[in-house]
Structure 1
């Protein structure tokens, strides 16, 4: 099946539909599977829930009890997956070539797909939405119901305001227990920022941190119209224009800015994936999910 295009994201609010299209043929998990092989021992039974894999159903117990039960395995180690969504006002930046598509919708789709993969693998996963100076959490849990909770929260998200400050993020992003996989979706227009500092801090806590830096085609090429005036949606510090005479300077400053972003993340071993929202999301997911990142 052909991977979903960004146009599909723009024209549907059904995240489950988009997930099915994007993940068709992707064939990749968020980490190496641990459900088979040595070190995996039976732990307990639990009632079957929609979305559970049929291969985990205990058919002998079904014959005795006339109910479906799923075998839970005790794993060598547990991996929790955390999804961090930048929902500040700058994430409302739209594509100039695909009507109805913006950074937030694209980021929401990427994180929803990762949540679906984590659920399929049996991992615990949670969500943090960073918007309007607050961090809203969906605590980590496992199973199909958790996936529905995360998808519902992603569907409801509206971009507004600025990122939470450093103190809010420090208290809100306290991931306890074993090292986790952390996937962040942002545009890194602010650098350094409270979010970049939080990602570095999480990496120093031995979490595997991966960030996708989202831009539009127009932002990357300077392809803005010279007609309208533009306002910073987060600070409203004034009105700016963009013309052909300013394009070279804009591109030069943009390259300098994102070179600093890349160097800063690389220095702290945070994997960064640069993406344009006009790209097919499956391509971006492959880069985010490649085993062990670049390490």
Structure 2
């Protein structure tokens, strides 16, 4: 049973899950978030002063330093630094295991949470002026949308995320390697998955991208029932990605399951630390805005 303290957040998440209008969900989640994805530096017209240079035709008059004009009798503009624009890649695991639902909040499953949080990252990238693209792994295949900027690209990405359905297994290692053609220049990879398979073709591809100097940031999604083994005793369970029969969890199985689960996700976290990959683990019952904020803040802390 949920505590009184968690009911409002759960109710809000359930309400958001009832709409397929990702624009509406994004506006709600990002309200008051107030920070971006990355901190890079290149010359531009930002707010942090860097140096003066001589005025050139086409420069904005608002950047002229009028006090310096009075002293030097020449026009100078204040050159500043602004956020650099890098390619942002959203990577969605839409395999069959991502259909796992919450046992506490109706209408929520891992895929809904993953595609919604990635949609929010896309919206932030669009606001920052970054190019962003999409990679979806589902049914043994890779669907790829090239990176582009602007509101139309955001609508294309949101439509593709809305269409994603959980099916099949991960693509093979060979298929994923052949799909890394977008990785010519270092960019940012935001990948959302349950990472139940690690190592896997997906983890190998992400580690390869990290070795290619991409900034890789992983979000591991679990249900509360998976974390504390609160499945109903005797309930049947079939692995949606393997045809190996029906499994039932007895009370005696729970402790073993929890030990195996802790060991597995501990190895995922350790591998990420070893390769300097930002990794954040969340439950899909948590408020989505809080998960997004924590994921981005964790990445920002490493950037500093």
Coarse TM-score class (shorter-chain normalised): 0.7 to 0.9
Q: Deviations over 1:47-95 (max 9, x none)?
A: xxxxxxxxxxxxxxxxxxxxxxxxxxx9784300000000000000000
Q: Which residue of 2 aligns with 1:135?
A: 142
Q: Report if aligned partners of 1:81, 1:123 keep a CA contact under 8 Å in 2.
A: yes
Structure 2 distance, partners of 1:77, 1:17, is 28
Which of 187, 208, 222 does residue 215 from structure 2 map onto? 208
Which of 112, 124, 140 does residue 117 from structure 1 map onto? 124
Larger RCO of the pair (alpha carbons < 8 Å, separation 6+): 1
2:250 paired with 1:243: yes
Superposition deviation, residue 173 in structure 1: 2.2
How many residues were matched structurally? Answer: 263
Superposition deviation, residue 14 in structure 1: 1.1
Structure 2 distance, partners of 1:20, 1:78, is 23
Q: Report if aligned partners of 1:3, 1:23 keep a CA contact under 8 Å in 2.
A: no
Structure 2 distance, partners of 1:154, 1:76, is 27
Structure 1 runs of 4+ off > 4 angstroms?
A: 37-40, 74-77
Segments of 5+ residues of structure 2 without an aligned counterpart are: 1-7, 52-80
Segments of 5+ residues of structure 1 without an aligned counterpart are: 41-73
Q: Deviations over 1:165-195 (max 9, x none)?
A: 1111111122344311110000010010011
Structure 2 distance, partners of 1:178, 1:289, is 22
Q: Report if aligned partners of 1:133, 1:163 keep a CA contact under 8 Å in 2.
A: yes
Which of 121, 146, 156 does residue 153 from structure 2 map onto? 146
Q: Report if aligned partners of 1:80, 1:140 keep a CA contact under 8 Å in 2.
A: yes
Summarize the alignment of residues 198-237 of structure 1 with structure 2, pairs less than 5 Å apart: 198-237=205-244
Structure 2 distance, partners of 1:18, 1:78, is 25
Q: Deviations over 1:15-34 (max 9, x none)?
A: 11110110001001111376
Equivalent position SS for 2:273: helix
2:288 paired with 1:278: no
Give the TM-score, by structure 2 length.
Answer: 0.81
Which of 46, 51, 54 does residue 36 from structure 1 map onto? 46
In terms of Rg, which structure is larger?
2
Q: Which residue of 1 aligns with 2:56?
A: none
Give the TM-score, by structure 1 length.
Answer: 0.84
Q: Deviations over 1:221-264 (max 9, x none)?
A: 10101243100000121110012111111101111111111111
